[in-house]
A and B are shown apart, each in its own frame.
Chain A
């Protein structure tokens, strides 16, 4: 079944640690996205990709980085986590004529 996956679902980590949030999709989509969402707040686009070897920064400045080596995989990395990075991170992919986005379940990150 076509789907989009994110791991881990929850992560609690100390300041200064390097972390990678995983996102994979079996939708066959070229476009993928990362959003940051604080509790009860709107979504902010932090990274997107048109396809393999394509990555762009979104509307909200972020200290994270992304890579797109395979079509189905779009990991997000924080080299040195800080408490200000505490948030929910949502991954999405889109394709087809109308480009509707399909979302993963999210990763809730807490940096102590």
Chain B
């Protein structure tokens, strides 16, 4: 059975400092993993995806994530936070080629000036 756990419901950083949003997953199959971002009153936008081609995945807006099979983690990072990064972030696991997709509960990122 698949599951995904976002370890922090809220993360607060200062502008210009690094961002770390943590995600652990479990899957019986080779998973596809995604990070989405949702700004207030908007739909979800795909940030990046892991599909077994490379363990370090680069996404839009300077975000990247590293797939660590031994730790069953897929943490999202960014070297320097910007005010516009303040949003809700969702980690998602999906069976590769299958249908079942599981969304994490979300992590709200606050960025202080």
Contacts and interface: CB of A to CB of B under 8 A. Distances in A.
Interface of A: 6, 31, 40-43, 45, 48, 50, 90, 92, 97-106, 108
Contacts of A50: 99
Nearest to B45: A103
A41 B104 CA distance: 10
Contacts, number: 55
Interface residues of B, number: 25
Contacts of A103: 36, 43-45
A6 B43 CA distance: 10
A101 B101 contact: yes
B90 interface: yes
Contacts of A106: 41-43
Given A97-B97, A99-B32, A100-B32, A42 B104 contact: yes
